[in-house]
Amino acid sequence: MKSAARCLLLLLTGFVAACSTAVKDGPPDSIDYEWHEIANAVPKDEPKSRYGNPASYVVFGKRYRVMQNAAGFTQKGVASWYGSKFHGQRTSSGETYDMHAMTAAHKSLPLPTYVEVTNLNNGRKAIVKVNDRGPFHAGRIIDLSYAAAIKLGVAQTGTAPVTIRVVTADSVDSDEETVASAATSVPLASRDESLISNDGKLYVQVVAYSNEESALKMLKELREENFSSARIHVERAMNRLLYRVRVGPVPTRDVAEKLLLQLKEIKYNDAKIIGYN
């Protein structure tokens, strides 16, 4: 079968992540969200999809078998992502692909299945709903939506080594779920734009942690205190990750001084003004 005809057949049968056409895939034309502002998918007890769950199927001459029961499933390999090229198309499960939703494609897990993905390069974790088939590239085990790739830090690198494990509504730690979604409690539209300039170089750093969970809890506290421009800046130092919780950037030293006083008035005594690095 010619490649163009094969791609058409795959698209018609719902395998949207399976092949490449002349249209280049990539991120959306415009997007404005931070990785820690993206909420995890919330595992639910759902019946198997009417579509995308045959006993087996063939893509590019290779047969793949669909798992009947994914309980306890784990896997290690390479993650990739797919974006604007497939946005709005039908997935293998019959749902419409939304690159801004926390979803993914897998070759053999039942549809739908929820998995926790861990990026082994930076330690970030995300929960996604598997509702599509793919990726059909050698060595890759999961194709992430653009949002999931941003949250995990895969969008910048294109691919990354990951582990995945199946999770259910009963197996997800409720505390972890609360922390993971805390950063999304303030909509992007509520950012304090008066504190942000295009070339701002000053921040007020509240604290720095070596643990991402602690940084996310602090971010939640700051958002609850109406510091809507609070962000987490991740840096690698001495082969470990450092999570700096900062407010800003701010346009002038005077604004930074005012923010510093506000923070210290509500117990954040270790806050300090720093330059961008």
| Percent above pLDDT 70 for the chain | 75
**pLDDT higher than threshold 70 for residue 40:** yes
Boundaries of every domain in the chain: 3-171, 185-275
What's the rounded Cα separation, in Å, for the pair 72 and 207? 37
- The residue count of the chain comes to 277
Higher per-residue pLDDT: 21 or 186: 21
The mean predicted confidence, pLDDT, of the chain is 79
Which among 79, 232, 75 has a CA at the least distance from the CA of 149? 79
Residue 29 burial (CB count, 10 A): 6
pLDDT of residue 35: 76
Residue 159, C-beta contacts closer than 8 angstroms, at least 6 positions apart: 78, 79, 80, 140
pLDDT at 230: 85
pLDDT digits (tens, 9 = 90+) for 231-250: 887 776 666 777 788 888 88
At residue 144, does pLDDT exceed 90? Answer: yes
Fold of 185-275: Alpha-Beta Plaits (3.30.70)
Q: Enter the DSSP assignment of 213.
A: H
Reported as a pLDDT band with limits 50, 70 and 90, residue 28 is low
Tell me, which fold does domain 3-171 have in CATH? Barwin-like endoglucanases (2.40.40)
Task: With cut-offs at 50, 70 and 90, classify the pLDDT of residue 148.
Answer: very high
Reply yes or no: is the peptide bond before residue 112 cis, omega within 30 of 0. yes
Instruction: Report the candidate in 135, 75, 63 with the shortest Cα–Cα distance to residue 104.
Output: 135
Helix, strand, coil shares of the chain as percentages rounded to 5? 20, 30, 50
The pTM assigned to this predicted structure is 0.60
According to the model, what pLDDT value does residue 32 have?
52
